[in-house]
Amino acid sequence: MADLDEVKRQIEKLREQINYHNYRYYVLDSPEISDAEYDELMRQLRELEAKYPQFITPDSPTQRVGAAPVEAFGVVEHPQPLLSLANAFDDDDLEAWYRRAVDLLGGRKFDFVCELKIDGLAVALTYVDGLLEVGATRGDGYRGENITQNLRTIKSIPLSVPRDKAPSRFEVRGEVYMPKAGFKKLNQEREKEGLPLFANPRNAAAGSVRQLDPRVTAQRPLDIFIYGLGWAEGGRVPDTHWEILQYLKTLGFKINPNVRRCDTIAEVRDYYRHWVEYRETLPYDVDGVVVKINPIAYQVELGYVGREPRWAIAYKFPATQATTRLIDIGINVGRTGSLNPYAILEPVQVGGVTVKSAALHNEEDIHRKDIRIGDWVIVQRAGEVIPEVVGPVVSRRTGAEKIFRMPDKCPVCGAEVIKPEGEAMHRCTNAACPAQALERIKHFVSRGAMDIEGIGEKLAQALFESGLVKDVGDIYYLTREQLLRLERMGEKSVSNILKSIENSKDRPLARVIFALGITHVGEETAELLAEHFHSVDELAKATRE
C-alpha cells in the first residue's frame, strides 16, 4: 500500500502548482506553462483524488464544477446591503456631488479612486477561514440569490485565499462579466444551433450565472473584476479604498488594471473623458466610471442618503440609445427555416452611426415588450452588437399602431408556417424553400463549415439565382464553362474557385455534418455524430434517436 502521507503531500503539491498556474493564466493573464502541461497537472490530480477520495477538499481545483445540478437558488441575506449608486450624467452632476461631500466633511481634503463601471452582474463573495463559502447576486440589495456553485466555475475567482494574510471572515464585491469576444462566439454558436441570441454581454453574463446547472455556467466565458471589500472580521484591513484594492490583489483577487487614484476632481474628469473616448478599445463593456472617496473613515462619516452612498457616484457614459419610428416589421427566412423578424426603422443616429434596422428576436419577444408597428421605439446600440429595439414609447401612441402577427405562410415560398412546441421560433415547413436553400448554401461554404474560400456570400447568391447550384451537392458538379459564364468571372478566379471546391473534399466528417446544417446540430453535436457514425450514408440511414 502506498504511503498515505506521501500521497497527501503529492496531492497538495499538485494543487499548489495548479492554483499558481490558474492565477498566472486567469488573473495575471500571463501563463508560464502550455495548456497541455496544465492539463497534465490536472489529470494527475484527478487520478490521485479518484484513487484517494478521502483527500478531496472543497477548494481543490478539480471541484470547480459541481457534480449535480442545483435544485433552485437559496436566498442569501447580505450582512451589509449592496446598494446601488447615484448617477451623474454630466460634469455639473459630478461637481454637485463633490461639493456636497466637501461641505459635509467641513472642508477637509480627500482624494478619489476612479474605476471603470463594468457592465455585468454585481456579486458578493464571502470567505470564511480562507475558503470561498458563499457567492450571491446583489438581488434587491438586502437579499440575493445563492449562486455559489455557479460562481465556483469562474476560474478568476479564488476558491481559497492565503489564510495567514486574510481576515477570518470577509466579503468582497465584484462584477461578473462576459468579455466581448466570448459573447460574440457564444452567440455565433447559438445561432448555428438555432437557439435565441443574447441581446448583449450583460444579459449573457446574467443568464449564465443564473443557470440551474453549473456545468452550463462552466462552459460560458465568464470573468470577474473585484471592486471592493464589503465587510471584514478578524483581521486588519487597510484604511483607504485604494490600499484595500492593492491588498485584495495580494490575496489573489482580480482587480481591474485601469483603476486610478486621483488627487483632484479635475483629474477625475480627465479620467472620465479618456474612457469616453477609449471605451470601445476595452475587451469588455463599460457603461461609465465609478468615483469613490478614498479614505474609508470619510466614507463611514458620509454614510448614505436613502439607499445610495454619499461617498460614491456612477458617472455614466453618453447614451447609446435613441428614439425613432418603427415603420414596419420585416421577416428573414433563415437556413433552418426559422422566420426571423427585424425592425425597419426611420433612420436615426445612435452613438455616431445611422441605424435603419434592428433585431427583434421572435414573436413572443415582440409581444412581451409590447412593440407595435407604427410605434415610437427606443433603439439601443452597444459596442459592435446588432442594434436592438428596447421597447415602445407608449405615451406617444396615437391608436393607429398595429399589433404584429407572424404570417401563417412563408413570405418567400408561401408554404405553411408552424411553431414547434416549446420553441420560440416560427418555421417555414417547406424543405425546398428557396430562402432556406440559399442560406444553407451560404452556411455550407462558410469558414466554420466546408470553408470553400472561393465562394463568398455574393457568389453563393449568384450561383443560386442562376440555377447552377440549387442545393449544396450541386457545388461539386460545377464546371469551368458554367462558372465562366457568370458575370465578372475571369479564368484565374474560376481556377481558384474550382481548387477550393476540390480542397473541401478532404474535410473531416464532423465538419461535413455541421456544414449540412441540420437543425439543433452545432459544432459539438456534429463531432459526436461523427464519432458515432462513420459516413454520411450511415448517418442518413440512422433513425431519429
Residues involved in catalysis = 117
Q: How far is CA 513 from CA 25, 47, 346, 504, 544, in A?
A: 34, 35, 41, 13, 15
Cell of 452: 470553400
User: Angle at CA 225, nearest 5°, toward 221 and 228?
Assistant: 155
Evaluate whether 361 touches 421 at the Cβ level (below 8 Å): no
Residue 76: left (phi > 0), alpha (psi -120 to 50), or beta? beta
Please count the residues of this chain forming the interface with Zn ion, following the rule CB under 5 A. 7
428 versus 530: smaller Cβ distance to Zn ion: 428
Stretch 388-427: interaction string toward Zn ion, x if CB under 5 A: ----------------------x-xx-x------------
Radius of gyration of the chain from its Cα atoms, rounded to whole angstroms: 28
244 versus 410: smaller Cβ distance to Zn ion: 410
Q: How far is the CB of 417 from Zn ion (least distance, A)?
A: 8
Residue 152 identity:
R
Nearest-angstrom CA–CA distance, 437 and 154: 41
3-state SS of 481-512 is: HHHHCCCCCCHHHHHHHHHHHHHHHHCCHHHH
Q: How many helices (H) and strands (E) does the chain have?
A: 18, 22
208 versus 430: smaller Cβ distance to Zn ion: 430
412 versus 509: smaller Cβ distance to Zn ion: 412
Nearest-angstrom CA–CA distance, 321 and 371: 16
Nearest-angstrom CA–CA distance, 244 and 237: 7
Cell of 483: 462558372
The CB density around residue 531, as the number of other CB atoms within 10 Å, is: 10
| Rounded (to 5) percent helix, strand, coil in the chain | 40, 25, 40
Q: How far is the CB of 413 from Zn ion (least distance, A)?
A: 3
Q: How far is the CB of 452 from Zn ion (least distance, A)?
A: 25
The DSSP symbol for 60 reads S
The CB density around residue 37, as the number of other CB atoms within 10 Å, is: 12
Q: How far is the CB of 184 from Zn ion (least distance, A)?
A: 29
Stretch 426-465: interaction string toward Zn ion, x if CB under 5 A: --x-x--x--------------------------------
Nearest-angstrom CA–CA distance, 317 and 94: 13
Q: How far is CA 76 from CA 81, 126, 154, 502, in A?
A: 11, 11, 20, 60
407 versus 490: smaller Cβ distance to Zn ion: 407
Q: How far is the CB of 472 from Zn ion (least distance, A)?
A: 17
173 versus 335: smaller Cβ distance to Zn ion: 335
Q: How far is the CB of 433 from Zn ion (least distance, A)?
A: 3
380 versus 436: smaller Cβ distance to Zn ion: 436
The CB density around residue 315, as the number of other CB atoms within 10 Å, is: 25
Residue 339 binds Zn ion, judged by CB under 5 A = no
Q: How far is the CB of 329 from Zn ion (least distance, A)?
A: 17
Q: Which residues bind Zn ion (CB under 5 A)?
A: 410, 412-413, 415, 428, 430, 433
